[in-house]
Amino acid sequence: MDWTGLLKHLGISRGIVLAIFITTFTMKFGPEYFESIPATPAPWPAIAFALMILTGILLLIWAVIGIWEFIVRKWHSIFSFVYSKLPMTQLQIDLLYGMGQHPSRFLDLDRLPYGNYGEEVLTRLEAIEAIRNLSRKGYVEFYRSNNTAFLTPRGEKAALRIERKTQNVSQD
């Protein structure tokens, strides 16, 4: 079964579980509160109660999972927003500027020239840390499995701002 079929069946099963819960809830508590609902025959109240508990637990689990995913998504977006307001290091600025020169290409960390540059020393771990920080800020997508990074649309805007700043400084 493919993913679309599985998602369709999962959506249908949630609808069925909700319908069973509502039906069993009505069978169990309906006659007590509404005179228009007839009493449930003798063997069915226990079955209805068991089904109500089972489907209620399933609905509760699905609700908790949905709420948890919502909280994690919001927390991540808040964290990313707050983290993006922190000032960038010179290495992060240089990496964004360099990636902005070729925005459609990825940055391969295995091909970066590590070593001494005057007083500055660039190590592989520093480059990885800088890329991870840029990823937390939402500027790049970092793929650790093959050590590549891509600019996000937000990163392209930041690289454009950096490029404009360097052009303004060079014109002065």
SS (H, E, C) 26-59: HHHHHHHHCCCCCCCCCCHHHHHHHHHHHHHHHH
- State yes or no: pLDDT of 170 exceeds 80: no
- State yes or no: pLDDT of 159 exceeds 70: yes
47-68 pLDDT, tens digit per residue, is: 999 999 999 998 999 899 999 9
- pLDDT value of position 52: 93
Handedness of CA 76, 80, 81, 83 (dihedral sign): positive
- State yes or no: pLDDT of 43 exceeds 80: yes
Give the class (CATH, top level) of 90-171: mainly alpha
**Average per-residue pLDDT for the chain:** 85
- State yes or no: pLDDT of 129 exceeds 80: yes
- State yes or no: pLDDT of 171 exceeds 90: no
Record the pTM: 0.55
User: Where along the chain do its domains lie?
Assistant: 3-84, 90-171
